[in-house]
Structure 1
Amino acid sequence: MRFLKRFAWIAAILGVLGILAVGGLYLYVKPELPSVETLREVKLQTPMQVFTKDGQMISQFGEKRRIPVKLEDVPQTMVDAFLATEDSRFYQHFGVDPIGVARAFGVLVTTGEVKEGASTITMQLARNFFLSFDRAWMRKIKETFIALHIEQLLTKDEILELYLNKIAFGHRAYGVGAAAQVYYGKSLSELTLAQMATIAGLPKAPSNLNPISNPEASKARRRVVLLRMLDEKKITRAQFDEAVDAPVTARRHGAEVTVNAPYLAEVVRQDMVDRFGEEEAYNGGYNVYTSVRSDVQLAAQQAIWDNLHGYDERHGYRGPVSVLWSTEEGKPALNQSEIIKYLDRVERFGAVTPAVVVKVEEQSAQIMIKGDEQLTTLGWDAMKWARPYLNEERQGEPPELASDIMQPGHVIYVRTVGEDNRLRLAQIPEPSSAIVSLQPQDGAVAAVVGGYSFNLSQYNRALQAARQVGSNIKPLIYSAAFEQGFTLATLVNDAPINQWNPGAGIAWRPKNSPDVYEGPIRLRKALAKSKNVVSVRLIREVGVKTTADHIAKFGIPRDSIPENESISLGSLSMTPMEVARAYATFANGGYLIEPYVIERIENGDGEVVYEAEPQVACETCDNPAPRIISEQNAFLVTQAMNSAVWGGGSWAHKTGWNGTSWRIQRAKPIVNVTGRAITGKTGTTNDVKDTWFSGFTTGLVTTTWVGFDDVSRALGSTTMNPLLSSKEQPISGGEAGAKTALPGWILYMEKAVGQFPAEDFTIPPNVVSVRIDMETGKLSHRNDYTSRFEYFISGTEPNEYAQDERDNKDIFNNEDGLF
């Protein structure tokens, strides 16, 4: 009895000392303990996701990949896997598991080594949120106290949900939702038992047990997880046997991007960083919804690809990317596995995929394509375009045999074309291109593409490349003229200009392209046929300063507009976005809209924190856009641009003529939707370094640009390839806006125009229509092919009738005069 009393006293004293020691430790570390109250307001670092208007993912930004999930959305099997492996008594202990601590202490005493940490899920949560991962006693003590606090503050389910969303799984995946996506490209509900067990085994050592970088170690760890589940009776023996023998199927998956639009995504990323700062933008869990539809954006990207490949093919083949082996040089051929490993390292760009030529026959070749272990035949029709590229102006002789084009060992590119995805020899195009498409009523961006491949160049030519606009400036110049009382029927002398510049000691001789002159010409026809000398004469009559001031109304910085006559020929530099915005003014009846791409922003809880409130082309609306030209002025410019598509005159009487945009007539998908309510204007700089096309319906304005990033390079010219039909190569001769930029515009609009309203052009108030004589622009009594109805702003219509003999000798006072 004396011994028991002594033992009781000692135990009591040790207990008191233990309590005092724990209390002392708590008081010692208390100042360093964080407030766990923040867990109730916890904000997980969740990446920003960018979506199209119809909910397709464009991109994801953020240092950590995380897909937050609710506990009820986690399959019970996965919950069982984590609890069995990490903390089987989670729902019984108070944050610290005494049994686990005793077991870990026993191992320490018997082995002298710390082999078990006795950490509960709550303690792991404490470490992940508030502490480092250093193996130190003081960290463990702090971890214990924080865990006790957490258990007092949160329910077990809340703790488990935070844990499953917080822990790291490697490859920048945080939380089980992200782990399922990164390793398997699946949602949690789609995972197999083997895959769940693999994920549950990762928190112990995400790098060493990774199923991608270390599959054998991962498989062994998976077996441990499955054994623990079997021991806890969470799975049957049959389930264990099936899962433990399952192959390792993990591979790295990106975010669930369903629409590849990196240039658009970058516009959004920069906007979000400007709004919230980098840390908040990347990790705040924002979902950003853009104004673009997925199908329209993809149509724009495909149009860029197809149009640039069209240019590149007609200019010739530049040869293989590299040569892996050559019988002539004694380099031995690679075997199949070596070719596959090589191709795995070669990147895809845009529409092209790398391939290796294995065998060349008379007019075909056997190739191995990246991602396909089988040989594929590349036929003659897929390669006969490949006559040698000599320079931008010249192409070599067309090939006769496949061996004229490629040899075994050549690394080439291929792409797919047509609805049946036929293979075609390809190369990465040398020029660049951009498309901007806007809804003119409020400036919503319908599509934006800044280049051929974001992986090749992140430079967004749609928003950043200020290039000379060529004749795309002319509608703005004509608008300035209409502001000064000119009309669609005003006659201007389409004749050569030869002006001596005494300061420079040279003559300025602006020319038409082509170098053809028609004498007296109405402004409708002059704009439709893009007469350069007419624009020069207009700017002289209106005044350079007045014209420059008028152009600045369209959102162009005034100090960037050259105050000389060269602006009549497009010496002004603008970005495709600025051009599209300017043309939107004509489409919407005279309003300057502000382009926008973000429609709304939602936070991680689904609450809308921002919604676009764009200014609208409507005077009676709550948020009207500023009017910069009259509705009547916009209508007259639209009419002239409409003639650029449809031309005029009478072909039966040999007076018919085409405008520079006549190729749109052949685009049946566009015409079927718009009827004749479609406009367009080409643009080509004098040296053909920049080519443009801009046009619109009432619901969609689109600008395309094609040129080299190297501003010293001209786009050149081509001859017809005799091996190709006119359908296979519809364009030859000198490159120009109508040949180089317009085809891309058509390819895009054929797919996009049906998604937006395309109504007839409405005649605005205060516009009258009278019959005029097409030669003189005066009133006409005739109703035959020599006359037409023309639109005028009321009060500007002609009041004289044309003479029947059409004596026009008194129309011009001198060569450079207007009247």
Structure 2
Amino acid sequence: MASKRSSPQTGPVRRTIVRTFKILVFGGLAAVVALVIAVVIAMASLPGYDELKSSPNGQMVRVHAADGTVIVSLGPSYGQWIPFAKIPQPMVDAMIATEDRRFYMHPGVDPIGIARSGMVRVERGRWAQGGSTITQQLTRNIFLSNTRTFARKFREIILALAMERKFSKQQILELYLNRVYFGGGAYGIDAAARKFFGHSADRFTLGEAAIIAGLVKAPSNYSPTADAAAAVGRAKVVIDLMRAQGKISAAEAASADPAAVALAPEPKQNSVRYFTDWALAQLDTLVDETSEPIDVWTTLDLAMQRAADNAIRQNTPPGTQGALVALDRGGEVRAMVGGTDYVSSIYNRATQAVRQPGSAFKLFVYLAALEAGHKPEDRVVDEPIDIDGWRPRNSSGRFNGEMDVRSAFAFSINTVAARLGSEVGFDTVADMARRFGITTPVDTHPSMVLGTSDVRLIDMTRAFAAVAQKGIAVTPYGILKVTTGAGDILYEHKVDTSRVLVAPYVAAQMTDLLQTAVNTGTGRAAQIGRPVAGKTGTTSSNKDGWFVGFSSGLTTGVWMGRDDAKAIPGLQGGRAPAQAFAAFMRVAVAKRPTEAFDTEVTLPEWQLEPDDEAYFGQPDESFVDENGIGREEAAPAPREEDAAPAGQQDVQAPEQLDEQWLNGVLGRQRPN
């Protein structure tokens, strides 16, 4: 019987198959060896666990108001690092159920997940489902970019396998939960918990954990602050996944209601940002550069800030800008409004704008005169004066003859201010302004006594605050302390009360003049039912209106005008700015005890015929042009139709003031 023989073709085919099989086996072994070598090399190059815990990509700054409320959060937020032992179990379960259900079973890469992702890719023609494990996502977050290339994916796999060899599952979860991005600038569960729920991550509820876990897939789409309905819908999907995987019971799933989760209110981003922009600019000089999250604790009083915002919005004339700054006794900035709308203009007119202060600058003229020996009762003469060709006029166009210093200040008599400035020396007045905190250049032309040098509102306010503090220098500040996220103090402000600018009796006499100006003079619209001292200012052509004053330990400055310095019909320091001051101060000092000044209110001479702003709404206008040169033309004649300050009856301008008329204006009873 003939033996069986293979066909001539069988041998070569079989050899080819065997050869191919051997190539595949050896190739596969070589690939495995190469993979192992790559993983070993990657393990050696991986940073240590403590190094991976550090926070990269910028610094998070949380700004707190005086009551501790977070008013602004800036930069990427990493919150506090939460150790795995303190992470609530619902948060761990929700994240695993949503992002990597086989987390505890795979070596860093999930073959089943990759296969499923590949099948979807073939079916749909595009990548529609991720196959990345939590470990892969972590390596991408720390070491790689989000570009979708095979080279990046290969590096991701190598690093994921290396991390699984170097770190435990708990360490990987701890890193992931503290580093993954949840939207809104929040990295890690603690930052997300504080941003969205207002508390730390160590006390998550099931509903909160489901919302947070649902954010990873698409932080911008499912953010509860951007789209609450989408966030709740996604959270319900997470809860269903947790129930399906046995992480929670059906009863727990039914009781969890993401829609009932209370969200932390978003901090206001309008006028408060004028303050935070100003305060945070000082951080570089207060603390050494650091990359860790910090908390900045400020002096801002939120109730006062709201009152300041309302006062400026409600009293600033249409088409005009307004600014307000309020300082407490030690220089604490309690409120700051830099404009009528931060969203449309971030320019801070309280700290950056430089404008002529008009008669508000007379503070320094009279301080210099009082320090030189003048007293409020001293006699001066309101008459024409010529100083090197400069002949200032009063806004009434009249001269009142002999009067006392108190009356001249109360009714903002320009000629007397010029005479006093000439007497003490214009250099002395300029030095006084600089002594009290004016940081802008002060000229020494004679017209400077009427406020022709540009100043900042915050500087004028600090000057008045120093008078309120009996001549002690006041330095505005907004930052109380700076701490790390763990509470360690990096900086703490200390108030300096050692600098004496003028003797206490000089400050007391100046307060006498200032309170008289409010009670019977140009600033009567600033009255708030308790002792107030202050001064108005109105510049030529009504370009600027000022009121700066103090009461009950709080000093407030208000400025109004246009950014282009164009004239504003009817803008006067004794009207809208004084009214805004009063509207703010009524709220700001409402809970403070009423404080009397060192000197009682002394009425000016009743025989004096005041300038028109005092009783009829005309401005205490400084007749100087934009270059500070005095104008020769007479002031406009007073108009009978001009209204008196707010809350007063319109009155017809009398030819001469008499005691009966003054009694009526001041609300005094006529003597029997």
Which letter does structure 1 place at the counterpart of 2:348? N
Partner of residue 290, structure 1: 298
User: How many angstroms apart in 2 are the aligned matches of 1:613 and 1:128?
Assistant: 42
Q: Following TM superposition, by how much is the alpha carbon of 1:473 offset from its aligned partner in structure 2, in angstroms?
A: 1.1
Q: 1:84 to 1:643 in 2, by over 3 A?
A: same
Partner of residue 96, structure 1: 108
* 2:137 is the counterpart of 1:129: no
Q: 1:463 to 1:524 in 2, by over 3 A?
A: same
Q: Following TM superposition, by how much is the alpha carbon of 1:435 offset from its aligned partner in structure 2, in angstroms?
A: 1.0
Q: Secondary structure of 1:600's partner?
A: strand
The 8 Å contact of residues 324 and 556 in structure 2, kept in 1 or not, is answered as yes
Which letter does structure 1 place at the counterpart of 2:576? T
1:233 to 246, 250, 254: 246
User: How many angstroms apart in 2 are the aligned matches of 1:773 and 1:570?
Assistant: 23
Q: 1:46 to 1:756 in 2, by over 3 A?
A: farther
Which letter does structure 1 place at the counterpart of 2:518? V
User: How many angstroms apart in 2 are the aligned matches of 1:221 and 1:485?
Assistant: 77
The 8 Å contact of residues 592 and 628 in structure 1, kept in 2 or not, is answered as yes
* 2:496 is the counterpart of 1:615: yes
1:642 to 482, 491, 515: 515
User: How many angstroms apart in 2 are the aligned matches of 1:102 and 1:472?
Assistant: 78
The 8 Å contact of residues 271 and 339 in structure 2, kept in 1 or not, is answered as no
Partner of residue 806, structure 1: none
User: How many angstroms apart in 1 are the aligned matches of 2:309 and 2:120?
Assistant: 67
User: How many angstroms apart in 2 are the aligned matches of 1:130 and 1:481?
Assistant: 70
Q: Secondary structure of 2:542's partner?
A: coil
Q: Secondary structure of 2:574's partner?
A: helix
Q: 1:12 to 1:609 in 2, by over 3 A?
A: same
The 8 Å contact of residues 538 and 573 in structure 2, kept in 1 or not, is answered as yes
User: How many angstroms apart in 1 are the aligned matches of 2:234 and 2:78?
Assistant: 23
Q: Secondary structure of 2:72's partner?
A: strand
The 8 Å contact of residues 451 and 460 in structure 1, kept in 2 or not, is answered as yes
The 8 Å contact of residues 88 and 204 in structure 2, kept in 1 or not, is answered as no
The 8 Å contact of residues 56 and 257 in structure 1, kept in 2 or not, is answered as no
- Residues 529-565 of structure 1 deviation map (CA, whole Å, 9 limit, x = unaligned): 211110011112122223223322222347x212111
Q: 1:102 to 1:67 in 2, by over 3 A?
A: same
Q: Following TM superposition, by how much is the alpha carbon of 1:74 offset from its aligned partner in structure 2, in angstroms?
A: 5.6
Partner of residue 374, structure 2: 486
Partner of residue 751, structure 1: 587
User: How many angstroms apart in 2 are the aligned matches of 1:101 and 1:39?
Assistant: 27
User: How many angstroms apart in 2 are the aligned matches of 1:289 and 1:492?
Assistant: 50
**Structure with the higher helix share, 1 or 2:** 2
The 8 Å contact of residues 271 and 336 in structure 2, kept in 1 or not, is answered as no
Which letter does structure 2 place at the counterpart of 1:168? Y
Partner of residue 504, structure 2: 631
2:555 to 701, 705, 714: 701
User: How many angstroms apart in 1 are the aligned matches of 2:63 and 2:496?
Assistant: 23
Q: How does 1:570-719 map to 2 (within 5 A)?
A: 570-616=451-497, 624=498, 626-646=499-519, 658-665=520-527, 667-668=528-529, 671=530, 676=531, 678-697=532-551, 699-713=553-567, 715-717=568-570
Which letter does structure 1 place at the counterpart of 2:560? V
Q: Which moved more, 1:100-109 or 1:123-132?
A: 100-109
Partner of residue 432, structure 1: 321
Which letter does structure 2 place at the counterpart of 1:233? G
User: How many angstroms apart in 1 are the aligned matches of 2:432 and 2:233?
Assistant: 74
Partner of residue 276, structure 2: 265
Q: How does 1:173-188 map to 2 (within 5 A)?
A: 173-176=186-189
Q: Following TM superposition, by how much is the alpha carbon of 1:170 offset from its aligned partner in structure 2, in angstroms?
A: 4.5
User: How many angstroms apart in 1 are the aligned matches of 2:397 and 2:113?
Assistant: 95
1:165 to 178, 189, 193: 178
- Residues 39-86 of structure 1 deviation map (CA, whole Å, 9 limit, x = unaligned): 244467563221111112222222x45555736776543432211232
The 8 Å contact of residues 700 and 756 in structure 1, kept in 2 or not, is answered as no
Q: Following TM superposition, by how much is the alpha carbon of 1:698 offset from its aligned partner in structure 2, in angstroms?
A: 5.8
Q: How does 1:562-573 map to 2 (within 5 A)?
A: 562-573=443-454
User: How many angstroms apart in 1 are the aligned matches of 2:545 and 2:557?
Assistant: 11
Partner of residue 365, structure 1: none
Partner of residue 809, structure 1: none
User: How many angstroms apart in 2 are the aligned matches of 1:662 and 1:256?
Assistant: 37
Which letter does structure 2 place at the counterpart of 1:553? R
The 8 Å contact of residues 517 and 533 in structure 2, kept in 1 or not, is answered as yes
- Residues 692-730 of structure 1 deviation map (CA, whole Å, 9 limit, x = unaligned): 1111236221111111222122x213xxxxxxxxxxxxx
Q: Which runs of 5+ in 1 are unaligned?
A: 1-8, 313-428, 502-507, 617-623, 647-657, 718-734, 764-768, 777-819
1:39 to 52, 58, 61: 52
Which letter does structure 1 place at the counterpart of 2:422? R
Q: How does 1:304-319 map to 2 (within 5 A)?
A: 304-308=312-316, 312=317
Q: Secondary structure of 1:738's partner?
A: coil
User: How many angstroms apart in 2 are the aligned matches of 1:444 and 1:711?
Assistant: 30
User: How many angstroms apart in 2 are the aligned matches of 1:443 and 1:207?
Assistant: 42
Q: Which runs of 5+ in 2 are unaligned?
A: 1-21, 608-672
Partner of residue 327, structure 1: none
Partner of residue 476, structure 1: 364
User: How many angstroms apart in 2 are the aligned matches of 1:568 and 1:15?
Assistant: 93
Partner of residue 355, structure 2: 467
- Residues 606-625 of structure 1 deviation map (CA, whole Å, 9 limit, x = unaligned): 22211112312xxxxxxx2x
Q: Following TM superposition, by how much is the alpha carbon of 1:484 offset from its aligned partner in structure 2, in angstroms?
A: 2.1
- Residues 302-359 of structure 1 deviation map (CA, whole Å, 9 limit, x = unaligned): 1111212xxx4xxxxxxxxxxxxxxxxxxxxxxxxxxxxxxxxxxxxxxxxxxxxxxx
Partner of residue 549, structure 1: 431
User: How many angstroms apart in 1 are the aligned matches of 2:558 and 2:223?
Assistant: 47
**Structure with the higher strand share, 1 or 2:** 1
Which letter does structure 1 place at the counterpart of 2:430? A
User: How many angstroms apart in 2 are the aligned matches of 1:500 and 1:103?
Assistant: 92
User: How many angstroms apart in 1 are the aligned matches of 2:229 and 2:360?
Assistant: 63
The 8 Å contact of residues 472 and 683 in structure 1, kept in 2 or not, is answered as yes
Which letter does structure 2 place at the counterpart of 1:433? G
* 2:331 is the counterpart of 1:450: no
- Residues 389-411 of structure 1 deviation map (CA, whole Å, 9 limit, x = unaligned): xxxxxxxxxxxxxxxxxxxxxxx
The 8 Å contact of residues 43 and 163 in structure 2, kept in 1 or not, is answered as no
Q: Following TM superposition, by how much is the alpha carbon of 1:120 offset from its aligned partner in structure 2, in angstroms?
A: 3.2
The 8 Å contact of residues 227 and 240 in structure 1, kept in 2 or not, is answered as yes
Partner of residue 51, structure 1: 64
Q: Following TM superposition, by how much is the alpha carbon of 1:23 offset from its aligned partner in structure 2, in angstroms?
A: 4.1
2:92 to 79, 93, 100: 79
User: How many angstroms apart in 1 are the aligned matches of 2:475 and 2:220?
Assistant: 49
Q: 1:562 to 1:198 in 2, by over 3 A?
A: closer
The 8 Å contact of residues 411 and 521 in structure 2, kept in 1 or not, is answered as yes
User: How many angstroms apart in 1 are the aligned matches of 2:211 and 2:416?
Assistant: 74
User: How many angstroms apart in 2 are the aligned matches of 1:110 and 1:474?
Assistant: 80
Q: 1:208 to 1:449 in 2, by over 3 A?
A: closer
Which letter does structure 2 place at the counterpart of 1:700? L
Q: Secondary structure of 1:737's partner?
A: coil
Which letter does structure 2 place at the counterpart of 1:459? Y
User: How many angstroms apart in 2 are the aligned matches of 1:636 and 1:77?
Assistant: 68
Q: Following TM superposition, by how much is the alpha carbon of 1:477 offset from its aligned partner in structure 2, in angstroms?
A: 0.5
User: How many angstroms apart in 2 are the aligned matches of 1:232 and 1:130?
Assistant: 31
Q: 1:557 to 1:168 in 2, by over 3 A?
A: closer
Q: Secondary structure of 1:461's partner?
A: coil
Q: 1:581 to 1:216 in 2, by over 3 A?
A: closer
Q: 1:430 to 1:274 in 2, by over 3 A?
A: farther
The 8 Å contact of residues 235 and 258 in structure 2, kept in 1 or not, is answered as no
Q: Following TM superposition, by how much is the alpha carbon of 1:738 offset from its aligned partner in structure 2, in angstroms?
A: 1.2
Partner of residue 363, structure 1: none
Partner of residue 412, structure 2: 530
User: How many angstroms apart in 1 are the aligned matches of 2:280 and 2:121?
Assistant: 54
Which letter does structure 2 place at the counterpart of 1:631? P
Which letter does structure 1 place at the counterpart of 2:300? V
User: How many angstroms apart in 1 are the aligned matches of 2:467 and 2:121?
Assistant: 85
Which letter does structure 2 place at the counterpart of 1:683? G
User: How many angstroms apart in 2 are the aligned matches of 1:703 and 1:551?
Assistant: 16
